[in-house]
Structure 1
Amino acid sequence: MTSASIDLNADLGEGFGRWRLTDDEELLSVVTSANVACGFHAGDAPTMRRVCAAAAERGVRVGAQVSYRDLAGFGRRTMDVPADELAAEVAYQIGALEVFARAAGSRVSYVKPHGALYNRAVWDEEQARAVVDGVLLAGGGLPVLSLPDSRLHRAAAAAGLPVVGEAFADRAYTAEGTLVPRTEQGAVVADPEAVVERALAVARDGAVVSREGTRMPVRARSLCLHGDTPGAVALARRVRARLKDAGVRVEAFV
């Protein structure tokens, strides 16, 4: 299976006050979609405003990267949040980002959970539905970015929301098609050439290879490159250049 085009997304705005984790300006010159932290795992009002303005200037789509309320753990700690509370907090984060996106002449174009919430919504039906309820509460019928065939994918589709399948070029996969937990060795693919080859396999062949060596089909319209890994900007540029050389168009999915 060959994909004529693919979206490149990255997590941006993951700073707080004077502290910055991602090189937002440089990554915005490479990616087509920006998953902007909404203040719960990272990000604050000035950061959200700055990133939305820079994204709008470059024609990059703005997505709300919603999370559990976990600044200290960067949203990567397992949390048990009641469904009604989670739905309200998802809507709250989308609404906050929408203010700054509109002020920049843009809008929030999609929603993507972050970290522990992303992984929990893969298998936990209640949490997946809570995320969807939050998106619906925020209004607008926003597309949801998720692993294909996850609980979140199914819940969003059942609610009538557009669903965008996502793959990861720099994360290892299990034989079940889920991401290897970051607590396990080899969860993050460190070899730049391996990341590039995995990106090409997703875009051209619609496939990923698990850590066990199994080649698995993946229906992905968007490809994630993490902005907090060492050398993230250079790697993102390398991936985009190789995709272009392979005849794959890099363009936003919305």
Structure 2
Amino acid sequence: MTWASIDLNADLGEGFGNWRLTDDKQLLSVVTSANVACGFHAGDAVTMRRVCDLAAERGVRIGAQVSYRDLAGFGRRSMDVPSEELAAETAYQIGALQIFARAAGSRVSYVKPHGALYNRVVHDEEQAAAVVDGVLLSGERLPLLGLPGSQLHTMAEKAGLPVITEAFADRAYTAQGTLVPRAESGAVISDPAAVVERSVSMARFGVVTSRCGRSVAVRARSLCLHGDTPGAVALARKVREQLEGVGVRVEAFV
């Protein structure tokens, strides 16, 4: 499936205290949805408030990027968290961000897991169900942004929650349509021209070339542009320019 329009999302607010990772202000001039770190893998109260204020000013949708409690590992270490605990911590993160989103005159519009949790809920039914339970516990029936065909989406749909399919401009795919693990060579696409070409292909034709050279169907309503790579802002702008240049409208999904 292809779309006449596509959302561009990026992970933002991924600093802590005086440490900054992403150029939030500049990226918010390009993307249409902001996945805001909620303090478990990165982010703090001041950062969350600042990003929400900037996003609201620019009309960018605010999403809660929930994670395992793993500041030291940036949320990229797999953890075995009991379902009840994961649900409560998911709700906690959503609630924290909601305070700052509402103070900015906006709201949390969706939820996206981060890092190891994102990868885990592709296949793990129990952990996926816990994330969904956390969304419900927050009192908000929010859409869940994730990979097509993931357990996260299956569990969300069973609970009556909307789902938004996502693709990645700068990540390598397996022949099965899943992301190549970051620990493996070539997991992140570093060639800007390749990132732009893949973005257009996914948005217009719904396909991407996997690591083994096979074309894989990618039904994406939103395209993730990572903000923590060198030249991220310039690359994000180039992707948006090329998408609009071939007639794809860039707009938020909610």
Give the structure-1-normalised TM-score: 0.99
- Structure 1: which amino acid aligns with 2:153? H
Q: What letter is aligned with 1:168? A: F
Cα displacement (A) at 1:3: 1.8
Match of 1:78 in 2: 78
Could you tell me which residue of structure 1 aligns to residue 59 of structure 2? 59
Task: Supply the distance in 1 between the matched residues of 2:8 and 2:160 (Cα, whole angstroms).
Answer: 24
Aligned to 1:144: 144
2:129 aligned residue: 129
Alignment partner, residue 232 of structure 1: 232
- The residue type paired with residue 103 of structure 1 is A
What letter is aligned with 2:69?
R
Distance 2:2 2:153 in 1: 22
Give 2:41's aligned residue: 41
Distance 1:70 1:200 in 2: 34
**Structure 1 segments of 4 or more deviating over 4 A?**
none
Question: 1: CA distance between counterparts of 2:5 and 2:190?
Answer: 25
1:126 is paired with a residue of what secondary structure? helix
Q: C-alpha distance in 1, partners of 2:238/2:218? A: 22
CA offset at residue 217 of structure 1?
1.1
The amino acid that maps onto 1:158 is K
Q: Give the aligned partner of residue 170 of structure 2.
A: 170
Q: CA deviation at 1:208?
A: 1.4
Aligned partners of 1:58 and 1:130: how far apart in 2? 33
Partner of 2:164, secondary structure, is: strand
Deviation at 1:153, TM superposition (A): 1.0
Q: Distance in 1 between matches of 2:121 and 2:52?
A: 26
How many residue pairs match? The answer is: 254
State the secondary structure of the residue aligned to 2:174: coil
Cα drift, residue 163 of structure 1: 0.2
Deviates more, 1:172-181 or 1:102-111: 172-181
* Partner Cα distance (1:71, 1:218) in 2: 31
Deviation readout 1:71-115 (Å, 9 max, x if unpaired): 000000011100000000000000000000000000000000000
Other structure's SS at 1:6 match: strand
| 2-structure distance, mates of 1:104, 1:247 | 32
Question: How far apart, CA to CA, are the structure 2 residues paired with 1:15 and 1:63?
Answer: 16
Deviation, structure 1 residue 33? 0.1
Match of 1:198 in 2: 198
Structure 2: how far apart are the matches of 1:216 and 1:173?
8
**Contact 2:176–2:216 at 8 Å: present in 1 too?**
no
Q: Which amino acid aligns with 2:184?
A: E
Ranges in structure 1 where 5+ consecutive residues have no aligned partner: none
Q: Deviations over 1:111-167 (max 9, x none)?
A: 000000000000000000000000010112100001000110111111100000000
Structure 2 counterpart of 1:213: 213
Structure 2 runs not aligned, ≥5 long: none
Cα offset for 1:2? 3.8
Question: Which residue of the partner structure matches residue 242 of structure 1?
Answer: 242
Q: What amino acid is the match of 1:4? A: A
TM-score normalized by the length of structure 2 = 0.99
